[in-house]
Structure 1
Amino acid sequence: MPKKYLIAAVIVAVLALLLPSIILKIQEQTIQSSLPSWEQTEKSHFGTLAFAALDDELETQAGKLRFIKELQGAVQAGAFFIRPHPSKIFTWGFIEKEKGRYDWTITDWVVGTVQRYNVHLLVTIFTWNPWDQSGATFDGWYLREPSDWDGYVRWLSALVERYDGDGISDMPGLRYPLRYFEIGNEIPFGQGNEVFIRLLKRSYDAVKQANPDAVVMNGAIRYEEVDAFLSAGLGNYIDVFNTHNVSDEEIPSLEAKVGKPVWFSEILPGDPNEEMGREREYEVARRVVEVYPRVLSLGVEKVFLAQPRLAFGIYGEGILSSTYHFLQERIDFFDRTETFAVNGVTFFRFVVGERSCVVTAEWPGGPSGMPRCEISMPTEAATVIVTEATKPEHKSWTVQAQDGHAVIDFRLTDDPCLIIEEAW
């Protein structure tokens, strides 16, 4: 091969290797230009799962690129809290691969990378450790009691201390604290789970001693098992009660029982490797508009979408990503909420500073009820802008209010998920 062709081939090969990194770097600069501060993003109510099974793969450039791509997709869609799940990144055996020797290389890279985007992590703590527990095989429901409890506690204390932002033994370059820790995942509590009881108590004490400002929560407990959880005295060992997909009717009772903030660290679960067809993507997008406003208006503090690699345009057509972002931009960081119903349709009003936005996600009369019709929505605004939520083009129309009401004509759309911005 002539030398000039060989040089050209080498240049092309190098560019092929560098191009993905260059593109992601350009995207990072674009995203960073419009990011809220990390102090503001910590107040966000919108979260997601991500980084499924990205563990040892993060030692490779391909793994790092996939991590950044998913991170950017989540941030562009408006998810400022991310729960790495199912993941070993923050497990005991991943960091302390040899007894007494901590390797923070990948964990530091993960924390430093997400902090460039002002993202906050909800870290799931697992006891997984092959040298401590014979035959330990990791999965997203790992619940094994440490053989060396003192070793586990030392590791967890070191983890919290490294990322607490107090200037003592901190990760180099840490910009803000890593404060949110979930102990285990989807705990089968029933009449009591003695292993989890010990684990939560010991873990809570270790985390709080290292960082009194840390927020500790249980791995998700079902509503039916809350009484047993509280009877075991575990309400004193959490700052947030964590669950998945509790029904609307159960949320007020749950909040009254636990007396702590409630998070949903997963909703709308799905196979992280599921292919996102157009119909499926619309289905999940509609569920986001149905579920998020409803549970947030009932007092749930943060909600995490459990559609990690599907959610943010990685495999889909952008329908879910667009819907999620459109909703988040309009109702996140709200000051207060109001719920009201007209002709059987429930409306959720979110007041954000001096503006307000109303969300609905149901046809008048239900899918098989009365024909789509007009509804006179009460409003103090002079004008409302009605927009389709689940369509990427977000078709909208303006309605002039009269006598304290705006007539919403459902016959103008085939999308029951509408976002109604009130213009004063």
Structure 2
Amino acid sequence: MNDLIAVRAAIAWLDHVHGGRVGLADPQPVAETAGAVAFACHPLDPAATPLLTAAVAVPRSGASPFHPATANPWSDLADDLAARSPALQARRTNARGYLVAVDAAIDGGTASAVPWHPDHESPGWWDRLVEKHFPSSAVSTFDSWDTVIGAMASAGPDARGAIWVRRELRGQLITGNLVHAHVADGAVVILDGQRGGLAELETENLRDLVLALSHRPRPAATPAPWRAAAPDFPSAVAKARAWLILRPGDDLVLIDPAPQDESRRGWLFACAAARYVERGDWRDQTLDGALVVPKDARAPFGLPNARPWQWLERWDNGECDAVPSPGSGEASWFAATMPQLGPVLSASTHPDVRSALVELAMLPVGARALLWLRRRDRRGRESVGMLANAASTDTGLLLVDGITGQAAELDVDDVLATHVIRYH
């Protein structure tokens, strides 16, 4: 791929994803790897707030461009770029969602780290974020982590802040990050929700650090209803509904819960997108329709999209303790994801995996599609599904798990339906 083709691909993708609000800051690349060319991007309105995801990578393979990950854009550029899942990439760029989730956790609560969406960076995004989640903050810009830590320490107990890590490369602002700071027992703690722990205080390619500093004491600890034990059916239903309320928009509802959902360690419930229940259009349905409610005081959780029943059996037998994170994106994934991939050319429904694979095998070389496998649970309700990226290549059909990035393992049992969604 030459630079001119890469520039055109980047411009077209930015225009499509951001609705004409974002363009290239410079047609010269800021970084090049064996697999991709990266450009700086910015709002076309010169008065608008600079972007958090201020870089766009164009894979040399011809795959769709993407915004590199906010926590570590460099390693993201080095990863396999052949079949990048928009759903996975939206999680890699959701520094904003993780910042809010960490702040809630500091208060003893919880919040879903909603995946990145272009509207999250519409003009004024930083001011709105600070006003909503860190009200009455004093906003200052610093040139080093030492000065940020000093400002936090001087602020004393109950100080907390949002830090916008602004990176640059070749004189251009590029993808940044958002991390959380607070003072605990006299020490300044800086957390990166995407890394799941302490933030890396990076200095290379650092332009500056913008700190929104406020004071907010932690609220008195109160047990959350979704942290209660659920030894019987009524308490399990109440716990599940308390957990679903945490989702933005109350967009998931329980479907036909019953005492028969009980297992050794918990309850396997089913849920669906409220919009799907109302309208019946499969495009409105959720991908993550399983909800496991532990009998003990641990929080409910969703099942992994790949091999969910095998994982659930291991958990139920006490063979594993790690709980996969529940889905935190929009319940109706189709409307949120497809605009980032491109225009939908066709969508078909099949009763099983085999007939869907027959259609995919007939695609012309270069064609791309999503395969959505919808599963039933043991009671026949729709449960957790799976998305696979499909590409027709010179050597045959390539199917990649949209979450793990590995070769897709397709179930053939308990299939409710499969959909093949072709896009340009």
Class of the TM-score when normalised by the shorter of the 2 chains: under 0.3
Higher fraction of strand = 2
Higher fraction of helix = 1
